[in-house]
Structure 1
Amino acid sequence: MLKEFREFAMRGNVLDLAVAVIIGAAFGQIVTALVDNIIMPVLGILIGGVSFESLAFSVNDAVITYGVFIQAIIDFIIIAFSIFLFIKLLNRFKRKKEEEEPSLIPDPQIELLTEIRDLLKNDQQAPK
């Protein structure tokens, strides 16, 4: 059983997934710090110093803090947009790398020689 678990854990896909989760968590912390410490204070200044998290209303003894929900939506939008930009940047680098790789376009002279060779082979194999 231990051997099977080790084989499962050491598969390439499992290791790739583990790395992706760790990097994703670290990236999430970076984006959260960006939102909490830079974007939200600037947004608060632009809308007159209103803090979304403090927005709430009371119904009898219950306090409904809808500002926290608004903050979570803004965080999600910013995180999703950040990931979109990051993936777009990676795709751009990937395209540049593919463009830099030499394509295997055959030389016209080689194509012509190949056709001549094939014709000569066919001519020799044809019954006389």
Structure 2
Amino acid sequence: MIKGFKEFILRGNVIDLAVAVVIGAAFTAIVNAIVNGLINPLIALVFNASSLDKVGWTVTNYNGDQVFFGFGMILGAIINFLAVAVVVYFVFVYPMNHIKERAAAKAGVSAADEEPKLPTEQELLVQIRDLLEKQRS
């Protein structure tokens, strides 16, 4: 049982996942600081609000109660997500794809060689027709 656990833990993908979680947690703090310290104040200037949480509109219902519809938090979350996605792509994904392409070029394997060319619909229909003709005779 311990041997199986040891093999599971020492697999490359488990360690990669653990590293990704740790880096992601640390990276989230950086992105949140950028969004809260730079982007949110710029947006708050446009909407004349001290915080994005206060951006929205108030509606009075039929009882006379005030109901606040705040889209500022949603806008902040979208900006936060886009900031994380952009940085993750340009810091992690793009360089790793470039490194893989260079390694494949050194090995003499191109991306076109890795993926087999699939037949077109017309070629598949011709093959089906030929197989049906063979079955009939």
Where on the TM-score scale, by shorter chain, does this alignment land: which range? 0.5 to 0.7
* Percent identity for Structure 1 against Structure 2: 35
Q: With the length of structure 1 as denominator, give the TM-score of the two structures.
A: 0.58
2:81 to 56, 59, 76: 76
1:24 maps onto 2:24 in alignment: yes
Gapped runs of 5+ residues in structure 2?
Answer: 109-137
Match of 1:125 in 2: none
Alpha-carbon deviations, 1:28-54, whole Å to 9, x = none? 221111111122113323x15333211
Q: Determine which structure has more spread, i.e. the larger CA radius of gyration.
A: 1
Q: Structure 2 vs 1, CA of residues 68 and 84 (structure 1 numbering), >3 Å: closer, same or farther? A: same
1:61 and 1:43 mapped to 2: Cα distance? 25
Match of 2:48 in 1: 49
Match of 1:88 in 2: 94
How much does 1:79 deviate?
A: 1.7
How much does 1:91 deviate?
A: 4.7
Match of 2:11 in 1: 11
**Count of equivalent residues:** 101
Aligned CA-pair RMSD: 3.0
Q: With the length of structure 2 as denominator, give the TM-score of the two structures.
A: 0.55
Q: Structure 2 vs 1, CA of residues 83 and 55 (structure 1 numbering), >3 Å: closer, same or farther? A: same
How much does 1:88 deviate?
A: 3.0
2:17 and 2:3 mapped to 1: Cα distance? 20
